[in-house]
Amino acid sequence: MRSPRRCSRNGCPRQAVATLTYVYNESTAVVGPLAAFAEPHTYDLCEPHARSLTAPRGWDVVRHEGEFEPPPPTTDDLVALAEAVREAARPVAPRPPAEGDQDAHHQNPSTGRRGHLRVIPPNH
């Protein structure tokens, strides 16, 4: 799961539900629903900050009239893959060989296992 985006205002810990964009050539600040992706030169805002935003003198504010809804939770395949690899890479405590365990005597110390992955030494 992707972590929720936070409000861009300093010290605000709330989840962002709106995106602020400045249109400089029209002297307009636009506050709309949260953009799908964080973009440079835009600001994510929580609902209180999105509702109370004021623009500089001479500027217009265009504000979304509906409710600001938090984005639905999504899964990102790349993030899920990274978390799976991270989980598989965690060291596993070695189990002591059981009495009569034949594999303990034949295990090559230059190979190892981590989760479902196996390290195979290069052939020389």
Q: Is the pTM of this model over 0.75?
A: no
- Measured in degrees and rounded to the nearest 5, phi and psi for residue 85 equal -65, -40
Spell out the residues 6+ positions from residue 26 whose beta carbon is closer than 8 angstroms to its own.
Answer: 60
The confidence score (pLDDT) of residue 109 equals 52
**Residue type present at position 66:** G
Residue type for position 60: D
pLDDT digits (tens, 9 = 90+) for 34-56: 988 888 899 999 999 999 999 88
Segments of the chain scoring below 70 in pLDDT? 1-3, 71-82, 92-120, 124
